[in-house]
Chain A
Amino acid sequence: DAGVTQSPTHLIKTRGQHVTLRCSPISGHKSVSWYQQVLGQGPQFIFQYYEKEERGRGNFPDRFSARQFPNYSSELNVNALLLGDSALYLCASSWGTGSYEQYFGPGTRLTVT
């Protein structure tokens, strides 16, 4: 079975631009979470979505938004990019709200110049 997939693998954006990152969960998984990992630090929780509804949000500004589609894939959107948004963005999926094992994708490396 395919694991969690993310696209693109890498991208470079300029300050002030907008970016959309995509994630496809493991088949059968209905929950998707997003994490930001700045170089040299542990991942930080951004969002969790389950059955297309937001179930949790971390301490991130409103420039960050996300959504989940009927096929359980998800998009993370970041507006008005700042240099500090440069990071590895990780997507994780799990069966549902009763499952606490999260399976991570390879991540999208975002560089803001």
Chain B
Amino acid sequence: AQSVTQLDSQVPVFEEAPVELRCNYSSSVSVYLFWYVQYPNQGLQLLLKYLSGSTLVKGINGFEAEFNKSQTSFHLRKPSVHISDTAEYFCAVTSPYQGAQKLVFGQGTRLTINP
């Protein structure tokens, strides 16, 4: 079984500042990792994914994440945030060895951008 811990429930930052949203996972088998964004009253949008290969993954809207197997982390970063980045961000994990394509999500991190 897998689990995900998002270390910060809320992250306030100023516009144009850098941001890092932290995610740690637990799994006894190899995993695939994802970051999703949820804007108010909407569904989830895929930001980026790590399946294999380079541990630095680039996604949409200028976001990137780095897979660190030894630290079981998959932190999300953006060098300069905009007001439009205000949203809830979810880290998720799945494994190709579990049969179903079940995503296990963290509790979410609310990113608030202040002008």
Binding site for B on A (CB under 8 A): 4, 31, 33, 35, 40-45, 48, 55-58, 90, 92, 94, 97, 99-107
Contact = CB atoms under 8 A, between A and B. Distances in A.
Contact of B44 (A45, A48, A90): A90
Interface of B: 4, 32, 34, 36, 42-46, 49, 51, 90, 92, 94, 96, 98-108
Contacts of A57: 100
A107 B101 contact: no
Contacts of A105: 43
Given A58-B102, A104-B36, A41 B44 contact: no
A106 B40 CA distance: 11
A48 B101 contact: yes
B107 A41 contact: yes
A42 B108 contact: yes
Contacts of B103: 33, 35, 43, 45, 92, 102
A31 B105 contact: no
A29 to B, nearest CB: 11
A45 to B, nearest CB: 5
B99 A56 contact: yes
